[in-house]
């Protein structure tokens, strides 16, 4: 698997900010690159999954902790 190219710390941000920050980050990445995102907003799980399905990006991993969520996402290309 490819290595993480970029990380995004969206902890403490409320909906819709984590999703907006993810979209901005993906815009600046090349196809196939991987971003790791941390959030604390439970709504980001649903929001990210819906967005990734629509945009065609791949959710490689989702880890749900007690108060944080970790996503590894591969940009479509």
**pLDDT number for residue 4:** 87
Do the strands 4-10 and 69-74 form a parallel or antiparallel pair, or are they unpaired? unpaired
34, part of any domain = yes
**Active site includes 15?**
yes
Domain count along the chain: 1
pLDDT score, position 3: 85
pLDDT tens digits in sequence order for the chain, 77 residues long: 468 899 999 999 999 999 999 999 999 999 999 999 999 999 999 999 999 999 999 999 999 999 999 999 999 99
Q: Provide the domain limits for residue 29.
A: 4-8+19-68
3-state secondary structure of 23: helix
pTM strictly above 0.85: yes
Judge whether 77 lies within some domain: no
Give one DSSP letter per residue of 7-54, joined into a string: EEEETTPPTTHHHHHHHHHHHTS-TT-EEEEEE--THHHHHHHHHHHH
pLDDT of the residue at 2: 61
Within a domain: 73: no
Active-site annotation holder among 15, 17, 45, 60: 15
């Amino acid at each position: 698997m490819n290595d993480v190219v970029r990380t995004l710390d969206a902890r403490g941000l409320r909906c819709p900010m984590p999703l907006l920050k993810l979209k901005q980050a993906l815009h600046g990445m090349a196809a196939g690159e991987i971003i790791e995102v941390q959030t604390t907003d439970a709504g980001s799980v649903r929001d990210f999954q819906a967005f990734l399905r629509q945009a065609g990006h791949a959710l490689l991993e989702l880890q749900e902790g007690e108060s944080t969520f970790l996503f590894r996402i591969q940009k479509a290309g």
